């Protein structure tokens, strides 16, 4: 018998394993999962690893990172709008090795209709993603000048999703400066300047990998 949404059931309980109409695959680092040339006919669930969603302005030759998703995230949900012959609106790329479950759009829609618990959890997930998108848009509008506060906020936000904690107060964040520049919406050289300033202030450090001190960055953001 299905448990209620408040009794510990997670969306991952429904999507973790491949079943009818779904498949599981391991993607290599930088391997494209889907691109705008492909039809939107399935949603995807990250069982392990990370996925970067990007969009490109071919005319201006610019690329922006929309999000970096981690274990437990869903992407490609735009296919559920059921727009005939709709194509993807972004490119999904594996960051490192990622294990991804693919669920056919028709199969997932059928499950939403038959399984109310799944439907409620999926709605909650979409609402939470919408809130995060609005917060990111507001941050981009308010802090797109110098970029230091936007970069600090991105480091703090992703530290709670991606970073591996340590006892030193610093956490390892597996992001390159190129990825950070695409998230901030600036150049890699500008991010390099900002990160050097953050390093002098003790907000970040480099020990082979990027390490961030979330509490100090939070204090910086709070003024």
Q: Is pLDDT at 25 greater than 50 in this prediction?
A: yes
List CB contacts of 217: < 8 A, sequence separation 6 or more: 152, 155, 156, 198, 203
Q: Is pLDDT at 100 greater than 90 in this prediction?
A: yes
CB 94 within 8 A of CB 49: yes
pLDDT for the residue numbered 144: 60
Buried b (16+ CB within 10 A) or exposed e, 23-36: eeeebeeeeebbee
Region 65-75 average pLDDT: 87
Q: What are the Cα distances from residue 77, in Å, to 126, 175, 222?
A: 9, 25, 34
Lowest mean pLDDT among 24-28, 44-48, 166-170, 184-188: 166-170
Q: What is the total residue count of the chain?
A: 223
Q: Is pLDDT at 4 greater than 50 in this prediction?
A: no
Angle formed at CA 198 by CA 194 and CA 203, multiple of 5 degrees: 150
Q: Is pLDDT at 162 greater than 80 in this prediction?
A: no
pLDDT for the residue numbered 178: 86
Residue 47 to residue 45: CA distance in whole angstroms = 6
Note the CATH architecture for domain 141-221. Orthogonal Bundle (1.10)
Q: Is pLDDT at 196 greater than 70 in this prediction?
A: yes
Write the pLDDT tens digit of every residue in 48-67: 988 999 988 777 777 778 88
- Higher pLDDT among residues 166 and 116, named by residue: 116
pLDDT for the residue numbered 45: 93
Region 25-45 average pLDDT: 93
* Per-domain residue ranges of the chain: 11-127, 141-221
Closest CA to 43 of 66, 10, 69: 69
The owner of tokens 């012959």 is 85
Q: Is pLDDT at 72 greater than 90 in this prediction?
A: no
Residue 111 to residue 127: CA distance in whole angstroms = 19
| The model's pTM | 0.76
Q: How confident is the model at residue 9 (pLDDT cuts 50, 70, 90)?
A: low
Q: What are the Cα distances from residue 171, in Å, to 69, 143, 184?
A: 18, 24, 20
- Tell me the average pLDDT of the chain: 84
Region 160-166 average pLDDT: 66
Measure CA of the first residue to CA of the last residue in the chain; give whole Å. Answer: 51
> Helix-strand-coil percent breakdown of the chain, rounded to 5?
40, 25, 30
Region 14-30 average pLDDT: 84
Q: How confident is the model at residue 167 (pLDDT cuts 50, 70, 90)?
A: low
Q: How confident is the model at residue 35 (pLDDT cuts 50, 70, 90)?
A: very high
Q: Which CATH superfamily is domain 11-127 in?
A: Jelly Rolls (2.60.120.10)
pLDDT for the residue numbered 179: 84
DSSP 81-103: G--TTPBPSSEEEEEEEEEEEEE
Q: At 16, give phi and psi (nearest 5°).
A: -65, -45
Closest CA to 80 of 47, 27, 119: 119
pLDDT for the residue numbered 180: 87
Three-class DSSP category at 204? strand
CB 185 within 8 A of CB 113: no
CB atoms within 10 A of CB 196: 11
Region 160-164 average pLDDT: 67
pLDDT for the residue numbered 85: 62
């Amino acid at each position: 018998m299905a448990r209620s949404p408040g009794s510990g059931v997670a969306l991952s309980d429904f999507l973790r394993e491949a079943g009818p109409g779904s498949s599981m695959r391991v993607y290599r680092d930088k391997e494209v999962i889907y691109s705008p040339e492909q039809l939107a006919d399935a949603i995807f669930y990250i069982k392990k690893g990370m996925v970067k969603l990007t969009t490109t302005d071919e005319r201006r030759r610019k690329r922006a990172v929309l999000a970096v998703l981690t274990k437990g995230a869903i992407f490609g949900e735009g296919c559920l709008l059921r727009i005939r012959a709709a194509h993807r609106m972004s490119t999904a790329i594996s960051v490192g090795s990622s294990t991804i479950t693919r669920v056919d759009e028709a199969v997932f829609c059928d499950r939403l209709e038959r399984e109310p618990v799944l439907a409620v959890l999926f709605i909650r997930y979409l609402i939470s993603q919408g809130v995060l998108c609005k917060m990111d848009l507001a941050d981009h509008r308010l802090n797109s000048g110098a970029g230091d506060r936007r970069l600090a906020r991105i480091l703090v936000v992703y530290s709670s999703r991606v970073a591996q904690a340590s006892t030193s107060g610093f956490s390892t964040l597996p992001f390159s400066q190129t990825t950070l520049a695409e998230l901030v919406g600036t150049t890699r050289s500008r991010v390099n300047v900002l990160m050097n300033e953050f390093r002098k202030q003790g907000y970040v450090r480099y020990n082979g990998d990027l390490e961030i001190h979330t509490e100090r960055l939070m204090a910086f953001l709070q003024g």
